[in-house]
Amino acid sequence: MRQRLLSEGASELSYEIREIAKKAVQLQNMGLPIIWENIGDPIQKHHKMPAWIKEIVARLVNIDDTYSYCPSKGILKTREFLAAQTNALGGPQITADDICFFNGLGDAIAKIYQYILPTSRVIGPSPAYSYSAAVAEVDVNPDTGIVVVERVWIAHDIGRSINPMLVLGQVEGSVYMGLGEILMEEMVYRTNRNVVHKFPSMLEYKSPTTMEMCDVVTYLIEDPDPNGPYGAKEVGQGPLLPIPPAVANAVYDAVGVRIDEVPITPEKVMRALRDKSRGRPARYGPDSVPPVSWPDPLRVLTPAEGGDGTEMPHVAVHS
C-alpha cells in the first residue's frame, strides 16, 4: 500500500517572493523586451562583492522597469538546457517543468519539507556538513614493525561550537576510534568457514587502551552554517575519517612502505620492508578489487511510466 507523503500543491514548488517575475513574463508577451539574468548567489560568504557586480546592480537599480527576481523555478531556457542534458544520458526523461532552482541544498530541503504531511515519517540528509584535517606523528621500529602513534593534530570545522568541552570530547573520541581502526581492530575468520571467527572471543578484538591513546592537539574551526542550529555542524564521527590515512601516510614517510589495508600490524610492516629490501614493490595489501557478482539492476516504473511503484525483485526465499 502506497502512503501519500506530500500535501496538495506540492507539485508546484515556488518562491512566493519571486512571483513578481510572472508579471514580467506577461509584459514580455505583450511586446516589452526583457533581459533575464540568473546570477544566483555568486559571492562566497565572507568575501567582498566584485566591482563588476556592483556596477551592474547600481545601473539596474536606476532603471524603473527593472525586476529584481528571476522566474520562480529559474529561467526557462536554463531549465530546458538542463533537461536536455539529463535526457541525453538515457535515464528517466524529464522536462523543464521538473526543474526548480534553489539557493543551495539546505534551502531545497527546507522548501520540500514544507509540503510533507505532518503524519509522514521521513529521514533526510543534513546539509550542515563538517570538514576535518589531521596530521599524525608516528614512530615505526624497522626491526619489529611496531607502529606507535605519538601525537595527532586535528582541526575540525564545527560551524559553531555551542558546547566547546563536549565538542572536544567528540573530536578526541573520534581520534581514539580512528586509531583503533588503523592499528588493531580486525574481524578475522577461519579460512574454511567464512562465518566463523578465527578467535571467537572479544578478548581478541583489540582496541586502544589509555596506554595506546596518543596526545591530541585539537583545533576547533568555527565557520557557521545557516542550515545548522546556531550555525553548528556535525561532530559525530566525522573527525574519525582523516585519522587512518594520516597514520598510513606517516608510516610511509617514516620507513618508505605503503600498507594498503587496515589494520596496519607489525607483520604487514615487516612484510613490506622485506619486499622493499628485495627490490619488490614496497607495499602490502590487495592487488585489485575482488570481483563481485552484482544482481541485475531493478528499475521500478513510476506511475507516469505506467508502473505502480510496488515492483519487487524476484528472489528465492529460503526457510
pLDDT digits (tens, 9 = 90+) for 133-182: 999 999 999 999 999 999 999 999 999 998 999 999 999 999 999 999 99
Q: How far apart are CA 11 and CA 73, in angstroms?
A: 12
What is the average per-residue pLDDT within 292-311?
Answer: 73
β-bridge partners, 154: 134, 218
Cell numbers at 302, concatenated: 513510476
**What average pLDDT does this structure show over 279-308?**
81
Q: Tell me the average pLDDT across 250-260.
A: 96
Q: What pairs with residue 6 in β-bridges?
A: 116
Of 167, 182, 181, 185, nearest in space to 236 by CA: 167
In the chain the domains, ranked by start, together with CATH numbers, are 16-113 (no CATH), 131-284 (3.30.365.10)
153 secondary structure, DSSP code: E
pLDDT range class, residue 276, cuts 50, 70, 90: very high
CA distance 212 to 146: 12
Tally of CB atoms within 10 A around 122: 9
Please give the pLDDT value at position 318.
Answer: 39
pLDDT at position 288 is 85
The count of other CB atoms within 10 Å of the CB of residue 316 is 4
Question: What does DSSP say about strands 193-197 and 283-284: parallel, antiparallel, or unpaired?
Answer: unpaired
Rg (CA), the chain: 28
Taking residues 90-106, report their average pLDDT.
Answer: 75
The per-residue pLDDT for 43 is 60
Side chain identity at 179, as an amino acid letter?
A: L
